[in-house]
Structure 1
Amino acid sequence: MTRLIEPVRTAPAVARPGGIRSRIGWTFVLLTALAIVAYAATPYFTATLTTLAGDGVGLASTYADAAPFVQGAFYAHIVGGAVALALGPLQFWRGLRDRAPRVHRWVGRTYLVGVAVGAVAGLIIAPTSRAGYVAFFGFGALAVLWLVTAWRAYRAIRRHDVPSHQAWMIRNYALTYSAVTLRIWLPLLLLAPLALGQPWEMETAFADAYAAVPFLAWLPNLVVAEWLVRRRGLPSYRLPV
C-alpha cells in the first residue's frame, strides 16, 4: 500500500529553541492551559451535574441525564484532559529536562496516562455530543489522533530516539491544547454574524459555531505544530511528490 505521508529526517540533532519569544510563547501556553483547567474543568467537581445543569455550566446539561457509564466517561475525559493540559508545558521546559531528568520522565509518564484516559473517554462520549455527526467525527478524530501521537511519542523515547520523541510530543500537545483553542474559536464564531452585519440569534449562532469548531479546534493546531517541528530541525512529514 502506498504511504500517503513519509517522514523526512531533517537533522540528526535537535535544534534548541531560545530567546525571549520562545519564553513568552511557553509562558502564554502554560498560563492559558492553567486558566482553562481552572475555568472549564474545576467547576464539574464542585457540584452534581444536575445542579450544574440548572446553573447553565458548560456541558452539564448534556450529561446530567446520561447513563452512569457515559457520565463516568465524561468525568474521566475531564480529569485526563486537565492533567495533560496542565502538565504538558512542563515537558517543553528545557531547564526541567536538563536539571531534573527523572522528574521530566515521571511528569511525561503522568502526562501520557492523562492523554490515554482522556482520549479513550473522549471516544466514548463523542457520539453523545449535542452537535451530532459533526462532533462525532470531529472530536472522534481528535481522540484517535491524540492516542496515536501519544503512542508514537512513547515508542520513540523507548527507542532512545529523542528528536522523534520531541516531534511527536509537539504534535500531541497541539492536540491537547485544542481544549484552549476551542474556547477561543467558539466566541469568535458566535460573534462572526454580528461582525458581518448579519441577523444574530443565539441558538442559530451556536449551532453554526458548533458545526465548525469540532474540527477548527485542532486542525490549525497541527499545522502550527508541524511548523514548529520543522523550525526546530526535528523529523517532519511531507506529502510525497
Structure 2
Amino acid sequence: MTRLIEPVRTAPLATAPGRAGSRVAWTFVLLTALAVGAYSAVPYFTVSLRELAGDDVGLAPTYAETSPFVQAALYVHIAGSAVALVLGALQFWRGLRTRAPKVHRWLGRIYLAGVAVGAVGGLIIAPSSPAGYVGFFGFSALAVLWLATAWRAYRAIRRRDIAGHQAWMIRNYALTYAGVMLRVWLPLLLLAPLLLGLPWEFDEAFANAYAAVPFLCWLPNLVFAEWLIRRRGLPSYRLPLARA
C-alpha cells in the first residue's frame, strides 16, 4: 500500500547556514522566549486571577469565572508552556549538547514534561477560548500536534536516531514558539486596519485579530520548520509521486 508520506533526506549538513547567522538566530529565539515567558507567566503566579481580571490582563478576564478545574488547567498550561519555551531554546545550543550532554539530556526530559503538561492544560482550556470555535479548533490542534511531535522526538532518541530526533524537535519547538508568535501577530493584526486606512475601533479590531491567531500563531512556524529541516539535511517528508 502506498504511504501518504515518505521520508526523504535532502542536502547534506554542509549546506546549513553559517555558524554566525545561526548564533544570531538562536540568540534572538532565546531572548524572545525569555521575554515572553516572563511577561506571560510571571503575573499569574504573583497576583490572583481575579485581580488580574480586574486589570484586564491576558486571559484572566476569560478564565476568572470558570470552574476551579479549568483555572487549575490554565495555571498548568502557563507553567508548562513557559518552561518549555525557555528550555526548548537551550536545547538548540550546540555548546551545551557537545560539552555537557548529560545536562542536555536532563533539560530535554524537563522540556518534554513541560510540553506534556502544557499541552494537556491547553486542551482543557481550549473550549473556553475567547476566540470561540476558531480558538477551540486552532488551539486544540496545536496542543495535539505539540504532544504528537514531542512523542515522535522522544521515540526517535530512544532508538538512537539522532537525525530523526533533531527533525522532530525542530517541529516541536516550532509549535512551542507559537507562544511568541501569538504575541507578534496579535498587535500586527490589531493595527492592520489603521495601516490600510480602514475605520478602526479597538474592540472590533481585537476580536478580528484574535480570531486569526489560533491558527496563524503556529501554522507558518511549521512551514518554516520543515524548510529548515530540509535545509539542514535532516529527515523530512514529502508527498510521493503518483505511481502507476
Q: TM-score, normalised by structure 1?
A: 0.96
Could you tell me which residue of structure 2 aligns to residue 65 of structure 1? 65
Could you tell me which residue of structure 2 aligns to residue 121 of structure 1? 121
For the Cα contact (< 8 Å) 1:115–1:150, is it kept in 2? yes
Q: How many residues align?
A: 241
Could you tell me which residue of structure 1 aligns to residue 101 of structure 2? 101
Q: What's the CA shift for 1:59? A: 0.6
- Percentage of identical aligned residues: 76
For the Cα contact (< 8 Å) 1:37–1:85, is it kept in 2? yes
Letter in 1 for 2:206: F
Letter in 2 for 1:111: Y
SS at the partner of 1:200?
coil
Instruction: Tell me, yes or no, if structure 1 residue 145 matches structure 2 residue 145.
Output: yes
For the Cα contact (< 8 Å) 1:33–1:85, is it kept in 2? yes
Structure 1 segment 33-72 matched on structure 2, within 5 A: 33-72=33-72
In structure 2, distance between residues paired with 1:147 and 1:15: 30
Q: TM-score, normalised by structure 2?
A: 0.95
Structure 2 gap segments, 5+ residues each: none
For the Cα contact (< 8 Å) 2:16–2:231, is it kept in 1? no
Q: What's the CA shift for 1:10? A: 3.5
Q: What's the CA shift for 1:13? A: 7.2
Could you tell me which residue of structure 2 aligns to residue 158 of structure 1? 158
SS at the partner of 2:110?
helix
Structure 1 segment 166-181 matched on structure 2, within 5 A: 166-181=166-181
Q: What's the CA shift for 1:6? A: 2.0
More off after superposition, 24-33 vs 88-97: 88-97
Provide the aligned C-alpha RMSD in A: 1.5
Could you tell me which residue of structure 2 aligns to residue 183 of structure 1? 183
SS at the partner of 1:160?
coil
SS at the partner of 1:7?
strand
Could you tell me which residue of structure 2 aligns to residue 83 of structure 1? 83
Could you tell me which residue of structure 2 aligns to residue 230 of structure 1? 230
In structure 1, distance between residues paired with 2:187 and 2:123: 25
Letter in 1 for 2:191: L
Structure 1 gap segments, 5+ residues each: none
In structure 1, distance between residues paired with 2:99 and 2:152: 25
